[in-house]
Structure 1
Amino acid sequence: MLISKAGDRINGASRPSTVRLIAAIGILQAVASFAYPIAKYGLAIIEPFTFAFYRFVLSSSLLLLLTRLKKHDRPIDKRDYKHVFLLGVLIIPLNQTLFLLGQSMTAAGHGAFIFATTPMFIFILAMIHLRERYTHRRLIGVIAALAGVATIMLSGDIEVRRQYLVGDLIILVSVVAWAYYTIIGKRLVRRYGALRITAYALASGSALYFPFGLYHALRFDYSVATLEAWAAVVYMAVGLSLVVYVLWYWVLKYMEASRIAIFHNVQPVLATLIAALWLGEQLTGTFLVGGLIVLTGVLIAESKQTG
């Protein structure tokens, strides 16, 4: 079955302590928060598809090397090959390629806040595919989060909205892809482990992207690329694609997606502060209000019913 029910057993090691899991979540959220302004900086110098090409080649190569050095308890069932391949399609062409493209067309803070709606989409997909219980509180949270995203995307004057709207919409599509990547990958991670599934998913997605990325890489004017821009590529490859992706699946192996998702909400706050301090992006009142609505909506959707 492509998407598993919540009761699947976790094969192999016993559950880590809550402290270790929370620490892992804290690390991945901090690393991911820096990715927004760093990607924005690098993409201002290296065009998006060339940037993505080197990032994916580096990250998938490192992950495959780590996978080869680690012993595994069981081989991947041939029936799961197509599922791993689907994860590759979701994470590279649909999630990260679109994220990089969208991030190059909008403000760094916008991408972070739009990604704050990830838990909302995970909840929707979990209700559809995992048949999780519907609640009015979650519905209210979904509507509120969408209203916050609309506030952010339509903030500012008409020229600013036109400038950022397309980029914001592209990032929104990448968010949906990440939500599917999370839901579909849960069963595979429980069965085969976070490192191996992440490595094979990124490798298959990178293989699909390779011809397209190589075409752009060969046409790129390397004289404009600075050392700092290449450092941004390395950060996105090692920090985001390796550290964050592996930790995300590792924690997902032991915790419910909704519990992990609530920590996702620190990203827009940190990313916006970093972008304001580093890139000089302005924090408008409307933007802050929209961000607050997003975070409030997501928190409502993730909170448990009481009484």
Structure 2
Amino acid sequence: MFIVLFLIIFVSSRHGLQKISPRDWAWILLLGVVGVFINQWTFFEGLVTADSTTSALILATAPILTGVLAAIFLNEKFTPRMLFGSAIAITGIYFVVTKGGAALHFEPGLLWIVGTMVSFAILIIITRFYHNGIALLSQRFIQCHRFLLYSLPAIFIMDDPVTLGRRLASYGVF
């Protein structure tokens, strides 16, 4: 909520809010769902059971997947140099995840983290595919706004609902 309020003030005072067509809203909605809602949901679900170091390594492969997806969907080149670097990175991550063994064992949390990495790569591809003249800051504002709207129902129906602190100083971090 604080981020959305900050962005409303910042974007409207600096850049003004652009008029957005219904087609643009559809793209921004997709960006918000994939890049904010699904990404954050899978990330937090994954970190419940996954090791944070291994999770960070898996998330570090997002540029590799983004490069592959860009070659497929945006007709960009995936050079031999990129392929070689990707192979080295994936090999290193494999040895860390398997702890040097031959068996690949995925905890459920790591599968959630893979989902986070995939959703981030898809977000980058959609963002690069869709650049219809809407300022990037305005896109991010709308994505955060949509994320807040998507998340509010979930916040109130969770088993362990979020509570706000009573001390105002606690919010100084935001």
TM over 0.5: yes
Distance 1:155 1:76 in 2: 50
Question: Of residues 34, 50, 67 in structure 2, which corresponds to 1:90?
Answer: 34
Q: Match of 2:133, SS?
A: helix
Distance 1:186 1:69 in 2: 26
Question: Of residues 153, 156, 161 in structure 2, which corresponds to 1:220?
Answer: 161
Aligned partners of 1:64 and 1:199 also within 8 Å? yes
- Partner residue of 1:112? 56
List, as ranges, runs of 4+ consecutive aligned residues in structure 1 with deviation greater than 6 Å. Answer: none
**Which aligned pairs between 1:151-300 and structure 2 lie closer than 5 A?**
151-155=95-99, 165-186=107-128, 188=130, 191-216=133-158, 219-220=160-161
**CA deviations over 1:2-41 (Å, ceiling 9, x no partner):** xxxxxxxxxxxxxxxxxxxxxxxxxxxxxxxxxxxxxxxx
Higher helix share: 1
- Partner residue of 2:84? 140
CA shift for structure 1 position 169 = 1.9
Ranges in structure 2 where 5+ consecutive residues have no aligned partner: none
Q: Match of 2:49, SS?
A: coil
Q: Match of 1:219, SS?
A: coil
The 1:193–1:146 alpha-carbon spacing in structure 2 relative to 1, beyond 3 Å, is: same
Aligned partners of 1:87 and 1:181 also within 8 Å? yes
Could you say what the CA RMSD is over the residues aligned between the two structures, in angstroms?
A: 3.2
Distance 1:73 1:212 in 2: 28
Identity of aligned residues (%): 22
Distance 1:132 1:140 in 2: 17
Aligned partners of 2:33 and 2:147 also within 8 Å? yes
Moved more, 201-210 or 73-82: 73-82
Distance 2:82 2:100 in 1: 29
Q: Match of 1:144, SS?
A: helix
Ranges in structure 1 where 5+ consecutive residues have no aligned partner: 1-56, 239-307
Letter in 2 for 1:136: P
Q: How many residue pairs were aligned?
A: 169
Aligned partners of 2:68 and 2:78 also within 8 Å? no
The 1:146–1:199 alpha-carbon spacing in structure 2 relative to 1, beyond 3 Å, is: same
The 1:92–1:73 alpha-carbon spacing in structure 2 relative to 1, beyond 3 Å, is: closer
CA shift for structure 1 position 204 = 1.5
